[in-house]
Amino acid sequence: MALSDFGLSSVVGIAASAGLFLSLVSLYTISRLAYNNWFHPLAHIPGPISASASGLTYNLHMRNGTIIPWLMDLHKKYGDVVRVNPTEVSFISGDTAWQDIYGFRTGKNKTGAYLKDRSWFAKPVVKTYSLIVADEPTHSRMRRNLSHAFSDKALRDQEGIVQGFVDLLVHRLHEQVQNNVYAIDIMRWYNYTTFDIITDLTFGEPLYCLRDKDYHPWVNMVFASAKAISLLVAKRNFPIFAYYDRIKGIFCPKPDAIKQRKKFFELATQKVTNRLERETMRPDFMSYVVKSQAIEAKALTREEIDTNAVLFLVAGSETTATMLSGTTYLLLKNPAVYAKLVHEIRSRFNTQSDITFDEVNKLDYMIACLQEGLRYYPPAPTGFPRVVPQGGDTISGHYIPEGTSVYVSQYAASHSESNWTDPEAYAPERWLGDKRYKDDKRTAINPFSFGPRNCLGKNLAYAEMRLILAKVLFNFDLELVDKSADWIKQQKVFVLWEKGSLMVKLNPVQR
C-alpha cells in the first residue's frame, strides 16, 4: 500500500482522524469526570458519584419532573448537605442554612450578598429583570417603590377588592349545587379566584375566570411558563436536550413556547398601558407605583413596571391556589383535624360578612392548619438558588467555594427527620405548643424565602388564603371523591407542582 493511501482525505485517513477525535473526546470526558469527583473544590461534599461527576442525572430529573423524590432520597442517604451537580449543593439543615445563604450579610466575617443564580431564570423579554432577579442596587430601588403596594395600609385598602372575589367564589359554588353539580375540582376554583384577584390588583380588571367559570388563556400560559423553566435549565446545561427536543418537534410539533411567552408579555404590557392611562383613586398596585414615581430614588422605568407586573401575575396567583389546594386535601385526609377547624370557623362567625381580614387572623387553629400545609406541601418545593460570593463561605459548617450554586431544598427540609418529629404526619398542633413536637426546628420552614429578598407579597398571600379557606368551610362541608388516591404523591415538579384535579363533594351547610 502506497504512503499516499494514508492521506487525510483517504478512507483510512478519515477513519484514523475519527478514531483520534473520539479518543480525545473520551479522554477529556473521563478526565473531566475524574476531576469533578476527586479533585474539584467541592469534592469534600458528599453525594452520589453520578451527580458529582456530571449534571446529566440532575437535569434528567428536572426534565422528568422527578426532582423532589430524587432529592429526598439523596438527603436521606447523605445527610443535611448533598452535592447534586458538579457545581451545585443542596442543604436541608433547618437551623443554619437559611440564615447562612439568604440572611443579611453583615459583620466582619461575612463575604457579601449571595446573588440570585440567573441560570435558573429565563432571560426577560424586554432585557429588564424583575424584582426577583434584579441586581442588588436595582432590587433595592424596586423594593422601595413596590413595598408601598404591599404594606399593611395597602392591604387594608385592598380588602374590599379581595372580599368581592371571594364572595363571588362562594356564590359560584352555591350555583354548582343548585345545578346539581355536587362534585367539583376545587383546585380549579381556587385558581379562578387567585388569578382574578391578582390581575384585578395589577391591571385594574380581572381575567373573569370566576365570571366565565373557566380558565382565561393567560392562565394556561402561566402554567406552561413555569414548566418551561425546568426544560430551559436542562437545555442550557446540556445542549443535547435542545437537539433532542428540536428533532422531536419535527414529528410532534407543539406551539413555540418562546413565541407564546413573548405574546403573553406584549398582552400584559398593553394591560399596564390601559391601567396607567386610567386615572383612578382605586387602591390597586399601580396606584402605589405611580405615587412613588415622583421620588427619584424609587422611580421605575416603564420596562421595569411591565416586567414586575408580569411577576405579580405569576407569583401572586398559582402559588396561593396551590397552597389552598394542598391544605384542603390534607384536611380532608385527616378528619379529626378537619372537624376541629370547621368547629372553630362556624362557632366564631354568624354570617359570612363577619369573616374579614382582621377576624381570620384570630383563628389560631386555622392559621396552624395553613402553616402546617406550607410545611407539608410548600408551593415552591425545590429551592431558591443563590451563588456563593467571591472568596467562598461557610454554610452549615461546610466550606463552599465561590461560584457554587446553593439553596435549601424546601420539600426535603420540610420532610426530614432531622428537622421534624413525625415529618410525614399532618399535625397543626406542632405550631400550637404541643409537647410532642417540642424538638421541631421551626426555622427550617420559609416558604416565602428569607432575608432581604423574601417575598414582598406574603402578607397578601396569607390574607387571601385565610379568607378563602374560612369562607369556603363556613359555607360548605367538603369530602374527597376519591379517598384512596394520594393526590400529592402523584404529582411531578417542574419548578412548581404539576397538579391534577382535586375532586371534592360539596354539601351546603344548613343553618
The DSSP line for 443-476 is: GG--TT--GGGS-TTHHHHHHHHHHHHHHHHHHE
Number of alpha carbons in the 13 Å side-chain half-sphere of residue 507:
7
Class of residue 333 by CB neighbours under 10 A (exposed 0-12, middle 13-18, buried 19+): middle
For residue 179, the model assigns a pLDDT of: 93
d(CA 46, CA 78): 6
Residue with the bigger pLDDT between 406 and 34: it is: 406
Residue with the bigger pLDDT between 30 and 305: it is: 305
For residue 94, the model assigns a pLDDT of: 84
For residue 108, the model assigns a pLDDT of: 45
* Cross-strand bridge partners of residue 116: 386
Pick from 23-37, 78-92, 294-308: least confident: 23-37
Q: What is the mean pLDDT of residues 124-132?
A: 87
For the cut 90, the answer to whether the pLDDT of residue 53 exceeds it is: no
pLDDT digits (tens, 9 = 90+) for 163-203: 999 999 999 999 999 999 989 999 999 999 999 999 999 99
Closest CA to 382 of 128, 138, 70, 129: 70
Spatial contact of 214 and 208, defined as CB atoms under 8 Å apart: no
Binding-site residue ranges for heme: 455
d(CA 21, CA 432): 65
SS3 at position 84? strand
Strand order of the β-sheet with 386-387 is: 81-85, 88-91, 405-408, 386-387, 115-116
pLDDT digits (tens, 9 = 90+) for 241-289: 665 566 555 445 455 666 777 788 888 899 999 999 988 888 999 999 9
Q: How far is CA 287 from the centre of its chain?
A: 27
H runs (alpha helix) in 238-301 = 239-251, 257-277, 285-292
d(CA 62, CA 51): 13
For residue 253, the model assigns a pLDDT of: 47
For residue 3, the model assigns a pLDDT of: 47
Binding-site residue ranges: 455
Q: What is the pTM of this model?
A: 0.90
Cα angle value 319/462/443 (rounded, 5°): 85
User: What DSSP assignment string belongs to 187-205?
Assistant: HHHHHHHHHHHHHHHHHSS
d(CA 47, CA 310): 37
